[in-house]
Amino acid sequence: MITVTPSSATAATAVWIDLFAPDDRDRALVETGCGFKLPTRANLQEIESSSRHYMEQGRVFLSTPFMTRDADAGVSVLTPVGFVLDRDRVITQRFGHADLFTKLSASLDERADLGGPEAFCLIIEAMIDHAADHMEGIGGELDQISRGIFHKSAPARKTSAETSLEATLSKVGYLGERIGQVRGAVLGLGRIISYVAETVRDWLSEDQIARFTVARQDLSSLADYESHLANKVQFLLDAVLGFINIDQNNVVKILTIVSVVGVPPVLIAGIYGMNFKGIPEYDWKYGYAYALALMLVTTVAPLAWFRWKKWF
């Protein structure tokens, strides 16, 4: 799918061309209108810097990983976003759903002062805001999990059911994966901003240079916040695993108590089940009741002792 800005422009005259999951026909249409060949998705997924940032025929070719949404699975994924930048236009190629591109295209449709660098600035600023929003959402979810784990009045802490802890562990792990995705996006944005600011500085106005400086500062603060969230994820993972170990130890403790409590009655039953004449209570009228009472006392006494020691 191709979106052009302004919407009335053609591929040859548009300031911003946004290709979403382009097929061969879409790519051929843009390549014919613009007069150069677009990189493929395989090219955009290359990880070495020389493949992600280079200049060719007076145009800057860039790519960076970015958080998008998998419409089928309903989860965030890291997909490449490619840029082709020159003085007159910017072309983006993306392969995952991200509403910010659609919203930004609609808001810029009536802008008459757009050029390639200005459109690129606006796209980068929107992508930074998008990454920041993801981090804020992850931070809020981690805070909620933390309250559920450590506040004794919280429902998640009232019950230490294994399934509840497993679900919490799974959720914390997923949030850790999302933090890794945001980190990849933030690092990628920082690299392409630095490359553009250093390579084609003469294309940029003083205002755009200042905005790039602010954008790099924002990315630096996001990187610091990402480190904080990563540490918090590790802390919560350790805490959840600790509670799981505590619950397992409680189960072992209960089994130990049950086994200890069961030993005296079994011993008494074994002695009185030998049926020897030499047993003093063998012919006693109250021998059977005495044996039952003795079993009861030797069962209750250990339980009372364990309870007094607050072992269960």
φ/ψ of 159, rounded to 5, equals: -115, 130
Report the SS3 class of residue 69. Answer: strand
111-146 pLDDT per residue, tens: 666 778 888 888 898 889 888 988 888 888 888 888
- Please give the C-alpha separations between residue 161 and each of 154, 168, 175, 297, in angstroms, as whole numbers: 14, 11, 22, 33
d(CA 239, CA 172): 11
Q: How confident is the model at residue 214 (pLDDT cuts 50, 70, 90)?
A: very high
3-state secondary structure at position 37? coil
pLDDT of residue 312: 64
Query: What token pair was written down for 300?
Result: 């209750």
For the chain, the structural domain boundaries read 2-247, 248-308
Burial class (CB in 10 A: 0-12, 13-18, 19+), 112: exposed
Residue 312 tokens read as 């269960």
In this predicted structure, the answer to whether residue 189 has a pLDDT above a threshold of 80 is yes
Peptide bond into 302 cis (omega under 30): no
- Residue 75, CA atoms < 13 Å, CB-side half-sphere: 9
Tell me the C-alpha distance between 25 and 10, whole Å. 15
**Token pair 């920082």: residue:** 190
Instruction: Please check the confidence at residue 152 and state whether its pLDDT lies above 70.
Output: no
Q: Is the pLDDT of residue 208 over 50?
A: yes
> In whole angstroms, how large is the CA radius of gyration of the chain?
34
Within 13 Å and on the Cβ side, how many CA atoms surround 192? 31
Please give the pLDDT value at position 73. Answer: 59
Tens-digit pLDDT profile for residues 59-84: 889 988 888 776 665 677 888 888 88
Task: Look at residue 8 and tell me whether its pLDDT is greater than 70.
Answer: no
pLDDT band for 160, please (50, 70, 90 cuts). very low
Q: Is 248-308 a domain of CATH 1.20.1250? A: no
**How much is the pLDDT for 163?**
58
Could you tell me which of 113, 106, 120, 123 has the C-alpha nearest to residue 3?
A: 106
Per the model's pLDDT, the better-predicted residue between 175 and 47 turns out to be 175
- If phi > 0 it is left, if psi is from -120 to 50 it is alpha, else beta; for residue 310 that is left
Contact between 152 and 243 under an 8 Å Cβ cutoff? The reply is: no
Q: Residue 71's pLDDT is what?
A: 60
* Better-predicted residue by pLDDT, 158 or 34: 34
Beta-strand pair 16-20/90-94: parallel
Residue range 236-287, pLDDT digits in tens: 888 888 877 877 777 787 778 778 777 888 887 787 776 666 777 777 788 7
Give me the pLDDT at residue 276, please: 65
Q: How many helices (H) and strands (E) does the chain have?
A: 9, 6
Is the Cβ–Cβ distance between 54 and 46 less than 8 Å? no
Instruction: State the chain's mean pLDDT as an integer.
Output: 81
| pLDDT the model gives residue 157 | 46
Phi/psi at 263 (5° precision): -65, -50
